[in-house]
Structure 1
Amino acid sequence: MNMKTILLTLALIFSMTIHAAQPDTVKVRYIHRLTEDDARIFENNLQKTVIYVNDQVTTHLIMPENIKLVDISTDKLVGNQCADNIVRLKPKSTLMDNELAGTVTVIGERHIAQFTVYYTKAPKRAHSVYTVGQEDIRDYTNPEVSMTQGDMSRLCWSIFMSRRKCFRVHGKQYGIRAQVNNIYTVGDYFFIDFSLQNKSNIKYDIAEIRLKLMDKKELKATNSQTIELTPVYMVNHADHFTKSYRNVIVLKKLTFPEEKKLRLEITEDQISGRVSYLDINYRDILNADSFAPELLINLQ
């Protein structure tokens, strides 16, 4: 037996020994090299916010915008959406300390947030309330939503605290003076800022605020057409006032002919209650101001 034969025999025996010592496994062959984008995505996945839960504590996740969808990856967790922007979570049973309970994905109007959820045996360590911050969310394109309600609220409050610039639209009924303070256009929406002054000694109980598109002239009932419009957002939900009231409502942008008018109607909460209204002409809509970013300074 020559040296070459001896070496081949030893190599064969060594290979068989290693194969016998290892259990059967599925071989994985990597056919694609990690790119910079892959590394970034992997790194982002590692940076999911960690939430701790306990079976004696209810955990509330508060999103900065309305929630469209919640996904819980395992049956170890149960939960529900208890408000427009709040998700409630709880473990289904007692788990091991630091055991992975699952992943929770929360999708809002324009943002998505994902959390890794661990069980903790210490109730004090569990999150009872977690407010989702900018560092927890990522943007995504939602063609159905051009502006979130969070953004609407921020703009409304800024307009609410700004000075009056519109002096053309006002009216007085039953001792109530109504006036439009400002009309702004932002993206696909109109922001209408209005206020009421109660000159009487009787408080005004608000039943509803309605927007109607109606004819300027009184026509026969068969020819007249009134279209009810639904506000997208309203900043002030007070149901009564004694002397003064101010509100900003958001309306989907629209156009209408010159013979029509936009009526803002505030109805009192009584059978024979008072009704205050403001008629806004199309030229007032056309003269709406573009929102000035410096108005946001008011929020500070």
Structure 2
Amino acid sequence: MKTLLHSLLLFTAPFFTAQTATPEQIISDLPELEITEGINLHMISPEPIQYVDLSTDKLTGDLPASSIARIKITDNPVSEKDKKKQSISFFSGDTVGIITVVGQSFIAQYKVVYRSQDNLNTITNIHIQPEAMQPIEFDKMSFSNRELRQFALDIIQNKADKKPVRTENNLNLRMQLNNVYVMADYIFLDMNFKNTSNLSYDLEALKFSIEDKKIHKATNNQSIEMTPVFQLNPQKHFRKNFRNIYVFKKFTYPNSKVMMIRLIEEQLSGRTIEMKVNYSDILKADTF
């Protein structure tokens, strides 16, 4: 297991200036976590983890997933002669260190307490709860995945009953840009896909790119791929209808270019459909 915290995450964590509206915290007020030698403690965050700090070298860990921190007592290779001596290096109830987890919109801190291996009630994973989170306000306007998800849910709860911004039909497929929304520095694309054939659709990719509106020579075409920072539904298969919200950080492009959206099916199918979105469509975005 890779070590983090004093070597990796401490130096790769983003540098930021944050303000909190919460009072100071002292060690005695921190919630406690129990940890035992030879057992990993998994801390599950409701949003991607930006930074983790372990206050002592008695603890080590890594990030096996963007929203999970895996912590354990540091392994110290010792000889058979020293094993008995090491076994009493911690006493039940000793404070081993402080764990600090920083998400996109919060900071949470825990006091880690040692429990002997005889304790069968030692926890192996916890979900970071709202009561343990202190909100963080970053200088730049930025939303957490949790907030983006809520905005997307607000959009998708509204029926797409107004005239769509763009529509394309091909091979019994219909791709529709229902609307474009903007919130702070984020652009939300509300999209709908309809399959009128009896063959279900296995989606390989939905690709977004900025490309030249007019291509005089194929070799001169410049394509810039764009990746959503968030999508509401990761679904890869639909039978008849599929609606999703795709979120991008604010972008601009000149009138000589268009946003190209390509729906591509898996395997050797030729069922691919494309849509061109002019920048004027983005400029007409609604707010919510």
Asked if 1:137 corresponds to 2:133, the answer is yes
AA partner of residue 198 (structure 2): N
1:111 to 103, 106, 112: 106
SS at match of 1:158: helix
Alignment partners' CA distance in 2, 1:153 and 1:89: 28
- The within-5 A match list for 1:223-242 is 223-242=220-239
Instruction: Give 1:111's aligned amino acid.
Output: F
Instruction: Please list, as runs of the form range in 1=range in 2, the aligned pairs for 1:66-215 lying within 5 A after superposition.
Output: 66-92=48-74, 95-121=90-116, 123-143=119-139, 146-164=142-160, 165-215=162-212
How far apart, CA to CA, are the structure 1 residues paired with 2:106 and 2:32?
Answer: 18
Aligned residues: 251
Whole-Å Cα distance in 1 between the matches of residues 104 and 274 of structure 2?
A: 33
Shift of 1:44: 4.5
Is the 2:62–2:69 contact (alpha carbons within 8 Å) kept by the matching residues of 1? Answer: yes
**Deviation, structure 1 residue 123:** 3.9
Pair 1:48 & 2:30 matched = yes
Distance change (3 Å), C-alpha of 1:156 and 1:163: same
2-side partners of 1:168 and 1:65: how far apart? 32
Structure 2: runs of 5+ lacking an equivalent = 1-22, 76-86
* Amino acid in structure 1 at the alignment position of 2:69: V
- 1:194, 1:247 within 8 Å by CA — same for their partners in 2? yes
C-alpha separation between the residues in 2 aligned to 1:175 and 1:168? Answer: 20
Q: Is the 8 A contact 2:141 2:185 kept in 1?
A: no
| One of 55, 58, 64 as aligned partner of 2:46 | 64
Structure-1 residue corresponding to 2:10? none
**Which residue of the partner structure matches residue 34 of structure 1?**
none
TM-score, normalised by the number of residues in structure 2: 0.78
CA distance in structure 1 between the aligned counterparts of 2:150 and 2:281, rounded to whole angstroms: 24
Deviations along 1:231-284, one digit per CA (max 9) or x if unpaired, are 111122122222222211111211222332212111111234321222222222
Q: Deviations over 1:52-88 (max 9, x none)?
A: 1223643221122211221112233232212111112
Question: Aligned equivalents of 2:94 and 2:111: distance in 1?
Answer: 11
User: Does the CA contact (< 8 Å) of 1:198 and 1:204 recur in 2?
Assistant: yes
Separation (CA, whole Å) in 1 of partners of 2:30 and 2:141 = 25
Contact 1:63 1:131 in 2 (8 A): yes
Aligned pairs for 1:1-12 (under 5 A) are none
Task: Give the one of 226, 244, 265 matched to 1:247.
Answer: 244
- Relative to the length of structure 1, the TM-score reads 0.75
Alpha-carbon distance in structure 2 between the residues aligned to 1:197 and 1:264: 15
Q: The residue matched to 1:202 in structure 2 has which SS?
A: coil
> Structure 1's 123 and 87: CA in aligned 2 closer, same or farther, altered over 3 A?
farther
CA distance in 2, matches of 1:174, 1:211: 20
Structure 1: unaligned runs, 5 residues or longer: 1-39, 292-300
Aligned partner of residue 283 in structure 1, secondary structure: helix
2:286 is aligned with 1:289: yes
Contact kept in structure 1, 2:27 and 2:111, CA below 8 Å? no
Q: Which residue of 1 aligns with 2:19?
A: none
Q: Which amino acid aligns with 2:34?
A: Y
Displacement of 1:103 in angstroms is 0.7
- Residue type of the partner of 1:171? E
What percent of counterpart residues are identical? 33
Name the larger-Rg structure.
1
> Are 1:166 and 1:183, in contact at CA under 8 Å, matched by a contact in 2?
no
CA deviations 1:146-173 (Å, max 9, x no partner) are: 1222211222233233211452311111
Match of 1:259 among 256, 265, 268: 256
Letter of the aligned partner of 2:72 in structure 1? K
